[in-house]
Structure 1
Amino acid sequence: MSEASGHVLVFPYPFQGHINPMIQLSKRLSKKGLTVTLIIASNNQREPYTSDVYSIIVHTIHDGFLSHEHPQTKFNEPQRFINSTTRSLTDFISREKLKSNPPKALIYDPFMPFALDVAKELDLYVVAYSTQPWLASLVYYHINEGTYDVPDDRHENPTLASFPAFPLLSQNDLPSFAREKGSYPLLFELVVNQFSNLWRADLILCNTFDQLEPKVVKWMSDQWLVKNIGPMVPSKFLDNRLPEDKDYDLGDFKTEPDESVLRWLASKPAKSVVYVAFGTLAALSEKQMKETAMAIRQTGYNFLWSVRDSERSKLPSGFVEEALEKDYGLVAKWVPQLEVLSHDSTGCFVTHCGWNSTLEALCLGVPLVGMPQWTDQPTNAKFIEDVWKIGVRVKAHEEGFVSKEEIARCIVEVMDGEKGKEMRKNVEKLKVLAREAISEGGTSDKNIDEFVALWT
């Protein structure tokens, strides 16, 4: 690596699904020669440290909450978070500017538009980095602009929503905040307000790649200076130009893969295991958990299911024990997802369709069964099924409940159906395009190089 010259600050929204893609970009910027300082807004203050592997400096700044308060309190009291973090960020950048290698740019998550204002006030080059896909951001943009009106009641006069460069979307395809006025008011404000001052950003980056959302990207490029720099998945599973980059941490706190999970997986035939995981936030109802378990058992396939301890009691009595005893299934509280998706035994991925999980599956060539819950997940699922054709989405009843018959039907279709064969071909094509984009000379790699060149 050449000697670090330009210094950039990276400021993720303090939620793991947003932090991970920011860390991945930081690694690539550092390896290309920039000095990177990662700023985490937190109620748990710690001493600054430098990652030995990537030379990334990590600082925490105070987010306005006390150490005993739950991290998600910031969702319920956004103004408290904004006011305190604005002060903390201003103080931090002001101090950094007095050092021998002052920062020249701030890369921030547009979920925190106040960060753009702070950076502009302090004369930094400002880069908005969206960790969500354009396909969700475009919907939020039109809500902010007033060119799409969120219905008062999603049950009255349901219509198809039309957006530039999009297929027609039913209300079930829209992000959950865009279906009905007044649903999730605080989170609605969070996702829509990211566009309140975005026009002031010098550059906009997104965790996607040109060939994945070409029509949407073209439309967005006509509005702003936008560059795609994804997929921001650890290098081991893509181009392998950063061989030490095997997961989303900075290499200083080694978490070894759960060998018992990987050993169990290795004992199964190729493409025979259904992997099930609904992310770190989604909490299915007890009724839906039981229904999902019965569907998996009904298909007769081997399965690996990642279930948090807090959710385990929702499973049917004896379900875990029977699967273990008969050796057709394993329920684990933590699963090394990238290792599992890259394993030959994995046949499909039953997922909530969060963007990070979607990108991981796509990069590793695994077809999907989508069970979206909220936020951008329904829109991701629409593209998975009808645009990219790399999976199938379950059809839910009116209130969102999905029957065991429907879940089982979708799993069988992906694992053994004729459409499933096409899905595998399509996801393999996207896997190749994803690797090309981030490999040396690829579209995303060039965009990262162009940004680095501004400061070296």
Structure 2
Amino acid sequence: MWANVNIVDWKMEQSKGRRLVLFPFPFQGHINPMLELADILHSKGFSIAIIYTNFNSLNPSTLNPHFTYHSIPVDLTENEDSMKDLIAFVSILNAKCVEPFRECLAGLLSDDVNSEGTIACLITDLLFDFTRSVAESFKLPRIMLRTGGAASFVVYAAIPLLKEKGYLPISNSRLEEPVTELSPIKVKDLPTMPNCDPEDFYQLITNATNESKASCGLIFNTFEDLEGHELATIRQEYYPNIPIFPIGRRVILFPLPMLDLANILRSKGLLHNHYQHLNMEL
């Protein structure tokens, strides 16, 4: 259904009612792709608001001056701030972000009458699995960003099947065994996470992939020529009911838009009720 969703070179009329809220996960490998996405969307006329945590906080003075930045407090204990169990930390961060994020988003929505315009959509990192309930409570469409590529995501999406088939948890006696469902991957190639319980890792990934299925779309930091086969697998086998957006090679080479997210969502009736019609020209 969504196999042909790709880059479009449409110019969109500058207008109010095209404000996007982006919420990056506070790891550097997640922050930068989200900010790059914000630059792309801003280049097409969207107003951008960035919500960020005070953990690994951004410095707005060094970032795009055309965005608005909104910090939310995350009350981490000293032990939590320095913990080595990454999976436990992600879970704690999700739990402690819920209310501060909800309050911040409520404040932004209450300001919709100002010159920035109505919030059309929320774009969050895939690791923030709590954002579904918050977005739904405000009747706000939500798109998720997968900051990595598509190939690893295929493996993540297959974790329930891999557990059912006995490939996970990984056994040292099976390291060289092919994973026939994910050829040419071998058992030794399957993902692991140091300093954490494997079952906690699998559960975190499964929760994230399940939550993303309830979103209005999923953005991948890749392009069709590089991972076309993997993107097709994701669309056909795992996400047949939502659009999959590869950022695209041309964005890497030129400052062009990755695709017209808003128009696609609007055509499906998914945008905020007060979202204004966009006129587009080729």
1:185-225 deviation per Cα after TM superposition (whole angstroms, max 9, x unaligned): 54443333212322211111111101111111112112332
Aligned to 2:189: 173
Contact preservation (8 Å) 1:161, 1:169 = yes
Correspondence 1:13-412 to 2 at 5 A: 13-43=25-55, 53=64, 55-65=66-76, 70=81, 75=86, 76-99=88-111, 100=113, 101-144=117-160, 149-158=166-175, 159-163=177-181, 166-177=182-193, 183-222=197-236, 223-224=239-240, 225-230=243-248, 238-239=253-254, 241=255
Q: How many angstroms does 1:87 deviate by?
A: 0.8
Q: Which amino acid aligns with 2:35?
A: I
Judging changes above 3 Å, is the alpha-carbon distance between structure 1 residues 113 and 451 closer, same or farther for their aligned structure 2 residues?
same
2:174 alignment partner AA:
N
Contact 2:18 2:46 in 1 (8 A): yes
Question: Tell me, what secondary structure is at the counterpart of 2:226?
Answer: coil
Which structure carries more relative contact order (alpha carbon 8 Å, separation 6+)? 2
Aligned to 2:8: none
Q: Partner of 1:427 in structure 2?
A: none
Q: CA–CA distance in 2 between the matches of 1:187 and 1:54?
A: 38
Distance in structure 1 (CA, Å) of the matches to 2:85 and 2:263: 33
RMSD, aligned CA:
3.3
Against the structure 1 CA distance between its residues 93 and 144, is the aligned structure 2 distance closer, same or farther, given a 3 Å change threshold? Answer: farther
5+ residue gaps, structure 2, are 1-12, 267-274
- Larger Cα Rg: Structure 1 or Structure 2? 1
Output the TM-score relative to the length of structure 2.
0.73
CA shift at 1:132, angstroms?
1.4
In structure 2, relative to structure 1, the CA distance for the partners of 1:139 and 1:52 (3 Å cut) is closer
The question of 1:451 aligning with 2:225 is answered no
Q: Distance in 1 between matches of 2:180 and 2:224?
A: 22
Equivalent-residue separation in structure 2 for 1:132 and 1:219 (angstroms): 16
Shift of 1:82: 2.1
**Partner-residue secondary structure (3-state), 2:218:** strand
Seen in structure 2, the aligned counterparts of structure 1 residues 194 and 107 have a Cα distance that, compared at 3 Å, is same
Secondary structure in 2 matching 1:217: helix
- Summarize the Cα distance change of 1:52–1:25 in structure 2 as closer, same or farther, 3 Å threshold: closer
Cα separation, 1, equivalents of 2:120 and 2:233: 29
TM value normalised by structure 1 = 0.47
Gaps of 5+ in 1: 242-439
In 2, distance between residues paired with 1:162 and 1:6? 46
What number of residue pairs does the alignment pair up? 243
Shift in alpha-carbon separation, 1:135–1:38, aligned structure 2, 3 A = same
Aligned-residue sequence identity (percent) comes to 19
